[in-house]
Structure 1
């Protein structure tokens, strides 16, 4: 029962320009995003992270850097935490994309949405994105628990749609409803995977975090102490 802290990258130049960055090279944090990354380091550096794992994209690595330096660790890069592969949508203005029919599918029936092909950028469906993201987080979480024990905590630095997919899976929310989750830049969400089910402990949080307590002893058929969801 390790704890996974999901951190969305800080505001990027693409966010401030209203562009769908995807896997575009060279998308940095903007000035506000750099401040957010520094604030994240202040908020989270007291936590005993067993591992810090980040999307390979620059905006996530820049977000992870101040915290990793404060912790004295080297972030690991994992492609499974990378942004959705938007194909021909990559680099286009959100205001233009919102006029396309596919945009409505992404918003209303995301499980059916497949991003258009491109010679320059790979594409995938939202379902494929969600499956790889969830598989990556669950696999890393199992490794952390095996290596560091059930009370371990680790950090995944990723992207909004990736984190929403992980939250939806953890909460047993249908993928077609994952747009109900709000995941702002530099926000923190927390999930915990227990033998019988996952627990969503925080969503889109911008406040301080306390170190997790030792997991309670489980009773047959249960994954949490009575009243464990309060607060």
Structure 2
């Protein structure tokens, strides 16, 4: 199966103002977020990407466009509703400091599987649809481009944490132990036996080792190597 690089959008105007943006329109990257997106694109330029897929929200599409522009030929950015931000319902657009006083806040922190946002989505539903979307897209990209393909999904913090929790075999109630910063990169390689988490919340470092071998056809192991193996060349 292919490898997905999960990219959170760069810092947005809502992040700096302490507002839970959710699916609100008009939320764009601020200057720092734009620079973060450019830095992520530069890191990813070393990896030929089979696809760049984004949440439909503007802050993700802005980030994805910069990643695509740094690739040879500038691939089109596709949008996918399955990885859109959680529907926070009545919480959308409210100040984080005020939401932290709500009774539901402690449920979100301690037992996310029981959290349902008023007139919105449950975190259980959010995890189910985002994981299903990423796994479906990964299978489609593998079928079209081969098992050595690498692709990018640009999404949101809670969505990426959900996908990572699934790949790590973690219950949703543990997903708050994960942290995903703006414009950070996390890497999951799916196989026929299990997902392998190759990196989480990374901000720097060479990604050239993810590029498929060109001179010879490589065969990736689908089992964990006892002792850890030799690592990438």
Determine the C-alpha separation between the residues in 2 that align with 1:49 and 1:224.
25
Q: How far did residue 112 of structure 1 move?
A: 0.3
Which of the numbers 153, 156, 163 marks the counterpart of 1:156?
153
Determine the C-alpha separation between the residues in 2 that align with 1:7 and 1:170.
16
Determine the C-alpha separation between the residues in 1 that align with 2:220 and 2:4.
19
Residue of structure 2 equivalent to 1:97: 99
Determine the C-alpha separation between the residues in 1 that align with 2:230 and 2:22.
35
Determine the C-alpha separation between the residues in 2 that align with 1:132 and 1:67.
24
Q: How far did residue 70 of structure 1 move?
A: 1.9
Q: TM-score, normalised by structure 1?
A: 0.92
Q: Does 1:139 align with 2:160?
A: no
Q: TM-score, normalised by structure 2?
A: 0.92
Determine the C-alpha separation between the residues in 2 that align with 1:217 and 1:148.
15
Determine the C-alpha separation between the residues in 1 that align with 2:229 and 2:13.
40
Contact map agreement 1:216 1:224 (CA 8 A) in 2? no
Contact map agreement 1:216 1:225 (CA 8 A) in 2? no
* Structure 1 unaligned blocks of 5 or more: 118-122
Aligned length: 223
Q: How far did residue 230 of structure 1 move?
A: 6.1
SS of 2:70's partner is: helix
Determine the C-alpha separation between the residues in 2 that align with 1:115 and 1:202.
30
Determine the C-alpha separation between the residues in 2 that align with 1:100 and 1:135.
30
Determine the C-alpha separation between the residues in 2 that align with 1:205 and 1:82.
21
Determine the C-alpha separation between the residues in 2 that align with 1:167 and 1:151.
20
Determine the C-alpha separation between the residues in 2 that align with 1:225 and 1:217.
11
**CA 1:138–1:90 in 2, change beyond 3 Å: closer, same or farther?**
same
Counterparts of residues 1-12 of structure 1 (less than 5 Å): 1-12=1-12
CA offsets 1:8-58 (integer angstroms, 9 cap, x no match): 000000000000000000000011001111111111112110000000000
Q: Does 1:206 align with 2:203?
A: yes
Determine the C-alpha separation between the residues in 1 that align with 2:4 and 2:40.
16
Determine the C-alpha separation between the residues in 1 that align with 2:199 and 2:58.
25
Determine the C-alpha separation between the residues in 2 that align with 1:113 and 1:54.
26
SS of 1:49's partner is: coil
